[in-house]
Amino acid sequence: MTASHASPPPRVAALTVYPLKSAAGIDVDALHLDERGATGDRRWLLVDGSGHAITARECHALLHITPRFATPDRNGSLLLDAPRHTTLAAVVPGADALARPVFIWDDATLALDAGDDAADWCSDVIGRTCRLVYLDGDAQRPLKHKYAGPVAAERRHVAFTDGAPLLVLGMASIEALNGRLLEQGTPDVLDRRRFRANVWLDGLAAHEEDGWRLVQMGETRLGMGSLCTRCVLTTVDPDTLEQGHEPLRIWAGYRRTADGVVFGVNATHAAPGTIAAGDPVTVLDTR
């Protein structure tokens, strides 16, 4: 008689932070979670002359800005690279920096201007006038309940993410998407960079993460909030910057909800902590 073996639990396959909103991400071995989210994640932002956020949805060249952390703790200055440009050292603005009102979706908050040299470099890279700003430590951008699931959202704040501190996505969900694209005759495989998650998971079925309500990843408990509605940015090739129709067109056939097409889950950590690559994932509650 052959002994049966239990399947291994889901695990954290990879982790990514995005220091400058809409620029390239950085894969890391661990996410160190502070009150707002992953330390160093989307603490920098480009804004137009009226303070409104500029993202790669309308300005694809942002995807070709590659950030590097200038400090080991990830909590500060960046080095920014872009094709045909010298490296920019983006230094955290000092106490005397101009505090600008900035607007990101429905939220208004304060950010510190990084100066004219940074603005000139970023403007040249993306082809339009902009300012580079850094999240003020005292900035108030409240976390919305829909992103927190069963975790308390009161007195919590977020950085320059679209709204949730974290985005969680199973690799099997990407594999299933690519399988559907292949079946319809689309040869190009969409890699995970298009989906800009923070936490990538192995060992689960496609879209299994959609049904979770509360999970434990290593030492960190996450409330699973709303499913992540997806926009045109997913149709932009991060290498060529060319925009196509997929995956939005194929998602419309199997991932459509009343809010739009969805892929991945918004999540909120219950308290500061760490999520490390390889951590087991334990589902504590489902929807």
207 and 176 housed in the same domain: yes
Spatial contact of 133 and 50, defined as CB atoms under 8 Å apart: no
Which region, left, alpha or beta, applies to residue 115 given φ > 0 means left and ψ of -120 to 50 means alpha? left
List pLDDT tens digits, range 80-119. Answer: 999 999 999 999 999 899 999 999 999 999 999 999 999 9
261 and 165 housed in the same domain: yes
192 and 113 housed in the same domain: no
- Which residues lie across from 284 on neighbouring strands? none
In a domain, 6, yes or no: no
Q: What is the pLDDT of residue 188?
A: 82
In a domain, 98, yes or no: yes
Q: CA–CA separation, 33 vs 165, rounded Å? A: 9
Q: What is the pLDDT of residue 4?
A: 52
Give every residue of the chain whose pLDDT is below 50, as ranges: 1
Q: What is the pLDDT of residue 171?
A: 98
List pLDDT tens digits, range 146-180. Answer: 999 999 999 999 999 999 999 999 999 999 999 99
Q: What is the pLDDT of residue 5?
A: 61
Closest listed residue to residue 177, CA positions, set 161, 165, 188, 167: 188
Domain span holding position 150: 11-15+144-286
Q: CA–CA separation, 5 vs 18, rounded Å? A: 38
191 and 222 housed in the same domain: yes
In a domain, 22, yes or no: no
Q: CA–CA separation, 96 vs 167, rounded Å? A: 34
3-state helix, strand, coil in the chain (%, to 5): 20, 35, 45
In a domain, 21, yes or no: no
94 and 159 housed in the same domain: no
- Residue type present at position 37: G
101 and 39 housed in the same domain: yes
Spatial contact of 287 and 255, defined as CB atoms under 8 Å apart: no
149 and 280 housed in the same domain: yes
Q: What is the pLDDT of residue 232?
A: 97
Number of domains in the chain: 2
In this structure, the number of other CB atoms found within 10 A of the CB of residue 57 comes to: 14
Return the structure tokens found at 87: 């490296």
- pTM of structure: 0.96
276 and 161 housed in the same domain: yes
Domain finish residue from 135, 153, 187: 135
CATH number of the domain within which 214 lies: 2.40.33
126 and 210 housed in the same domain: no
